[in-house]
Amino acid sequence: FNTLLLVVILGMCILSAYLIKKWKIFFIPESAAAIIVGVFVGGITRILSKDEQELDFLSFNTQMFFFVLLPLIIFEAGYTVQKQHFFNNLGTITLFAVLGTLISTFVISYLTYLAALAGLITINTTNPMELLMFGALISAVDPVATLAIMGSSEVKCDPLLYSLVFGESVLNDAVSIVLFHTFADENKRNEIYTIQNIPATLLNFAQVSLASLCIGSVVGLTCSFIFKHTDIRTYPKFEIGLLFLFAYGSYAFSEALHLSGIMALFFNGLILSHYNYFNLSTTSKVTAESILSSMSSLSENFVYLNMGMGVFTGRFKNWDPLFIILAIIFCLIARLLNTFPCSYLTNLWREEKITGQMQVVMWFLGLRGAIAFALSQSMPGPSKDTYASTTLAIVLVTTIF
């Protein structure tokens, strides 16, 4: 029965997305519709069902998210990205995604620490790694909802603005995940962490990112070489299967080496779309993009649906309204302190400047999404439940409102 229920409500989410596009309801993003459906279904289930096993089935599954759903979303983003706009603005996008995320992480961590010292919120302040991990996960920008609106032909969004927001959101996700796991590794050492340790941590972060990028690129080039020098294109079903296996292989290989599978997968998608696309048969060119697009959309709906259901089916008990409000304010301050300075730096060398109006839009596009919530499930320490419930609340507020 649970499986049937899941299929039905996923179908409801897809129909909702269709109606939103058909009726051009721009003020309700597709992701917000999926969350609302999830909240409704989760609430009904909580009222009618007393079976804890059934509630567990509808709860957010972190392992499934990181190893099944997220790879589909990230690979589709890398494979279908508008390469000309992306590479033309690669320097700017990298600055926003890397330097901007680092600024955001440390600003949010420090402001949260000050709020805890002032007695406004109740969290563990004895371990700075927990604060840095929270700063890293909540800095994961996931503007899927906004991009769905900006990408609509009726809105006529500026191509530069769309390219910057899309590129930053995808790379920022990878950077936040790498940064979070870097801090998590430091936390497991149980050593006293001081400001002198920060350079070593950042060096480790840079090494992991670069190594992951190289793995994704090498696997992508290997796949392209095989496709070019064989006649596998005469068998489209083998062709598409091998393409997806190479893609997931880059993710699994990086994770096996304790690197960033997400970073490797995104650049693997970029390489495959650039070098391998013309090696594919006509059938596979169309089929691969259609399958990726459909599976990515289904994964996104599934993730947001689960997050909505998590409001009632989750095991969160420590809801702190003041922490939620303060965290949203901290996110806005951190976003302000990385958007405008990074824009100023990039405008020093750019011919096409990032206007003040674009900067304001980018500031408010810092939505938090599924990646932030999934990472919050891996938080250590006694304040884990508080961080998770606060993150979920921030995701709901920034996505729906």
The pLDDT score that the predictor gives to residue 326 is: 95
3-class DSSP state of 141 = strand
> Would you state the pLDDT for residue 238?
92
Q: What six digits make up the tokens of 115?
A: 């709020």
pLDDT at 280: 93
Q: What angle do CA 374, 379, 380 make, to 5 degrees?
A: 155
The pLDDT, as a whole number, for residue 133 is 93
Q: Which two tokens stand for residue 346?
A: 């990039």
Q: What token pair was written down for 67? A: 């190893």
Contact between 265 and 74 under an 8 Å Cβ cutoff? The reply is: yes
175: its two tokens: 């950077």
pLDDT at position 173: 82
Taking the chain (401 residues) in consecutive chunks of 10 residues, what is each chunk's mean pLDDT? Answer: 80 87 77 86 79 68 85 88 83 91 94 93 87 92 60 66 82 86 83 73 86 95 95 91 95 91 91 92 91 88 84 73 93 93 93 90 76 87 88 85 70
Residue 269's nearest CA partner among 256, 250, 293, 282 is 250
Coil vs helix vs strand at 316: coil
Please give the pLDDT value at position 302.
Answer: 87
> In this structure, what token pair is assigned to residue 255?
């994770």
At residue 251, the pLDDT reads 95
Q: What is the pTM (predicted TM-score) of this model? A: 0.86
Q: Note the pLDDT of residue 154.
A: 54
> What is the signed CA dihedral for 123, 312, 142, 99, rounded to 10 degrees?
10
CA distances from 184 to 121, 142, 212, 213 (A): 22, 21, 18, 21
Residue 223 and residue 240: Cα distance in Å, rounded?
12
pLDDT score at 153: 53
Cβ partners under 8 Å of residue 237, min gap 6: none
Q: Which of 90, 62, 73 is nearest to 31 (CA)?
A: 73
